[in-house]
A and B are shown apart, each in its own frame.
Chain A
């Protein structure tokens, strides 16, 4: 081979590599659409913004499942067919990264048929993305972002169906101090808006309850080595270690604590509430760890059984993750609003600016019975359903804690 050709081969290899990255980042899947048919139904798109390839993928995939389930059920609904609309979902992979999240948000709003977004997962992603949606009057309903500041920026299009950290953190602290009898805690977070917010709220309430916060540390959300921190924790001997963050790193921290012989359990928020946590930490290390998550356990809710049955029919063999049900409810909030606007203004006007603004108003006035309980929003756009459940790892799985 001549050196020119060699260079060409190398160039091709590099281009191929880059092309793979680009497609990897921006993979979009359109699902849920019906094949046109005889009736010319107006296509209304709902965006799903979630981490699908990087970050908390197990939770992000669950969001996608929940929203797709809601949309496919809506498309079967005779009332929706009568209105002359058909729903489609568009998945955007935000990779749990704020910058990628804004890119996804811009892709969403550039599609005029897209009227609402079910997402995002990470508060750090939801906050910047919400501003993009606001400029285009696209409604955003997050099933999972719990940082309080998300709904406090004066944006009228931002809603969430999950409880916020200023409810979840203190609830965790009350459980730790009052129910579980832990008198001292070492508080760690992963330096993300979600983790820091949750850990701060926990520490504040734990101290107010009369507990002692023996240490407060920050780590990175991609860190894998916590041994130095573990040694420090061991020397301070707290009754519980509180971790504000996602299961990926939280599980590694739990494993390293256990390896070093620290017997204090790890406790965290809804970011830990996934089976992956137990797999990564190992059964022995995870056993007895705690986490709080928003709402009641699914099987304790009136509509839970229906949801479970529908879920199992649609996704055989898959387990319901922390946000499947919330995403299902969040998507239904948007679907109900679209139905109302389509009835009031006509299907053709749903995807106009007037229609999008009407959808925001309709979402604000939501009052429905969801899988996760009653769904309604306060003036900020936060859910009025403020229930928190404490879970513990028992025999290798998260189960609702019973005293």
Chain B
């Protein structure tokens, strides 16, 4: 097995890991504050893919925005950048709002119920959203238009890295850095940390708990939505059940990294993505899920809190 192949598999793994990490951040953020696994999060990812697709289609449809605008969006580099900034912002904001709405109607009424109740509610929301898309949009996979040209940026020997892979990695790292700073440096971040430590006490200290929880349910799904757009661009299609497997894997990534810990989610995502790619490349493609979940079991046995689970006191 040549070195080129190993490096190329690492590139594949890091890209996949970046997607897992983006989704895992949503799981871990909500868990940190609510101590609840938001099983509907995989559908936030799916919703992001669809919002991205529809916005992209609308903005490149001459009947909707005029030939001039389409020419600008698709004709120049600046236009493309503007186009995709709009697409990503739309996906992040709309899916974020969807997350807040879901929290308001499906989780908030159950906030004082036993912990199993919101979990079941989350599964219900997940099934509801999948079926809503299935019935109202399409049951088929929809092709994601390849508006953004994908160019090979790095080519060393047999190893190639394309622009989209770099974009996914850079965006993921920037978003984590931003989120990390936001949570540790800002006033509202402090309120989030306080809420995660003790919700009741934080409320007594004058923190608006609903605002903090709402914010977590905006940021988490927004990141999931961005991951959904990337998924559409990277794999070229969106489908109503596209969230299931990545959602499962990202949840695993969050647990491997130490659920509730932001950097842990990131680390877990990359660890999982890389191990999966190496397993698929060097054992057999059929073994990649076996390896992924075997790692989960090993981590849970030897480090039940996850790889970075030590800072469990500060859960956000």
Seen from chain A, the residues whose Cβ lies within 8 Å of a Cβ on chain B are 3, 6-7, 9-10, 13-14, 16-18, 20-21, 24, 52-54, 57-58, 188, 191, 217-220, 222-229, 231-232, 234-235, 248, 251-252, 255-256, 259-261, 276, 279-282
Contacts and interface: CB of A to CB of B under 8 A. Distances in A.
A54 B143 contact: no
B128 interface: yes
Given A24-B134, A219-B285, A232-B281, A225 B16 contact: yes
Contacts of B175: none
Interface residues of B, number: 57
9 contacts: A20-B128, A24-B134, A53-B134, A224-B237, A225-B16, A228-B276, A228-B279, A228-B280, A229-B285
A279 B143 contact: yes
Contacts of B146: 282
B286 A228 contact: no
A280 B277 contact: no
A231 B281 contact: yes
Interface in B144-197: 146, 150, 152, 158, 160, 162
Given A20-B132, A279-B143, A218 B109 contact: no
Interface of B: 1-2, 4-5, 8-9, 12-13, 15-16, 105-106, 108-110, 112-113, 120-121, 124-125, 127-128, 131-132, 134-135, 139-141, 143, 146, 150, 152, 158, 160, 162, 231, 235-237, 239, 241-242, 244-245, 276-281, 284-286, 288-289
Nearest to B127: A21
Given A57-B139, A232-B5, A17 B124 contact: yes
Contact of A222 (B105, B135, B241): B241
Contacts of B288: 228
A53 B135 CA distance: 8
Residue in A10, A218, A256, A282 with the greatest tally of chain B CB atoms within 10 Å: A10
Given A53-B139, A276-B140, A231 B9 contact: yes
Contact of A260 (B105, B108, B160): B160
Nearest to B5: A235
B152 to A, nearest CB: 8
Contacts of A226: 285
Contacts of B2: 235
A9 B143 CA distance: 37
A17 B125 contact: yes
B109 A252 contact: no
B291 to A, nearest CB: 11
A231 B280 CA distance: 10
Given A7-B109, A13-B124, A228-B288, A259 B242 contact: no
B120 A232 contact: no
Contacts of A224: 231, 235, 237, 242, 245
Given A3-B109, A229-B281, A276-B141, 15 more contacts: A6-B109, A7-B110, A13-B105, A14-B120, A20-B132, A52-B139, A220-B289, A224-B231, A224-B245, A228-B279, A228-B280, A229-B280, A232-B281, A259-B150, A259-B162
